[in-house]
Amino acid sequence: METLSKEIDIYYTIEKGESAEIKILGSRFIAHANNASSKDIAIDFLNNIKSQYHDATHNCFAYKIGKDGLEFRAVDDGEPSGSAGKPILFSINKHKLSDVIVVVTRYFGGKKLGVGGLARAYSQAADEVLKKCEPKKIHITTPVKIICTYEDLDIIKKIIKENAVSMEEKYQDAVEIVAHVPTTKTELFTEHIISSTRGRAGANVINV
């Protein structure tokens, strides 16, 4: 059996929060990026930025959550419609990230930039902060419980090493292992464990 591909069960977020600032025609655009694995975390971060920059002209933002990025939001916070939130979200998508929020704070510098100029400025500010962020790999896994004899342990460990993300072991009369397997591959993985040991080992998905 070929090694199971894990890439379909992977997406990327950022390792830690970062900030960056650009200046355009006197206006300051201060961008902050942070992890956000849920809407509540994203909103908490946004509120912290708003509190920190309470005197700013605008605090525009976008966030994207989950592997497929189906939960997202883009807000212009008083800027012309589509000139701030969407360009920030576009930058997040361009960097192929999720579970992330980017807030761009603007201090007006006295000169209007126009809708196109604003869109470029907010996109550039988001780009600058995301370029500073180290990507972090997120695995989507399902736990599989394996019970086997010591005689089959080497075979089992080889299969796990080739196909699982991580595992925990417990040694008693028999060996009990919990392997964290890419979610889309759990059925194939359990079948491989059973067939490779000719049915001596048991492998079952743990419902969590």
Residue 201 in domain: yes
pLDDT at 126 over 70: yes
Mean pLDDT within 121-127 = 98
pTM for the complete prediction?
0.80
- 207 vs 196, higher pLDDT: 196
DSSP E strands: which ranges in the chain?
10-14, 18-24, 27-35, 58-65, 71-75, 100-107, 135-139, 141-148, 166-171, 175-182, 202-205
The answer on 97 and 157 residing in a single domain is: no
Task: Specify the DSSP class assigned to residue 153.
Answer: H
Specify the residue for token string 């790999």: 137
Is residue 53 helix, strand or coil? Answer: coil
Integer CA distances (angstroms), 202 to 55, 78, 169, 182, in order: 62, 59, 15, 18
- Can you give the pLDDT at residue 9? 85
Residues sharing a CB contact under 8 Å with residue 81, sequence separation 6 or more, in sequence order? none
- Can you give the pLDDT at residue 2? 37
The answer on 112 and 83 residing in a single domain is: yes
Which of these, 2, 4, 36, lies nearest to 180 by C-alpha position? 4
Angle at 198 between CA 8 and CA 170, to 5 degrees: 70
pLDDT at 35 over 60: yes
Cα 4 from Cα 7, distance rounded (Å): 9
Mean pLDDT within 3-20 = 80
The answer on 129 and 151 residing in a single domain is: no
Per-residue pLDDT reduced to its tens digit, 69-114: 889 999 999 999 999 999 999 999 999 999 999 999 999 988 899 9
**Identity (one letter) of the amino acid at 79?**
E
Residue 131 in domain: yes
Q: Which of 137, 152, 172 is the last residue of a domain?
A: 137
Cα 98 from Cα 52, distance rounded (Å): 24
Residue 123 CB-density burial (10 A; 0-12 exposed, 13-18 middle, 19+ buried)? buried
Q: Which domain holds residue 175?
A: 140-205
The answer on 163 and 74 residing in a single domain is: no
The answer on 146 and 61 residing in a single domain is: no
Specify the residue for token string 């979610």: 183
Q: Which of 137, 158, 191 is the last residue of a domain?
A: 137
The answer on 72 and 35 residing in a single domain is: yes
| CATH number of the domain where residue 94 is located | 3.30.230.30
The answer on 176 and 155 residing in a single domain is: yes
The answer on 158 and 64 residing in a single domain is: no
The answer on 111 and 155 residing in a single domain is: no
Residue 163 in domain: yes
| CATH number of the domain where residue 180 is located | 3.30.70.240
The chain-wide mean pLDDT, for the chain, equals: 93
The answer on 133 and 144 residing in a single domain is: no
Cα 19 from Cα 75, distance rounded (Å): 19
Tell me, rounded to whole angstroms, the distance of Cα 41 from its chain centroid.
13
Cα 202 from Cα 140, distance rounded (Å): 23
The answer on 170 and 85 residing in a single domain is: no
Tally of domains within the chain? 2
Instruction: Express as a percent the part of the chain with pLDDT over 90.
Output: 86
Cβ neighbours, 10 Å, residue 190: 20
Q: Which of 103, 137, 171 is the last residue of a domain?
A: 137
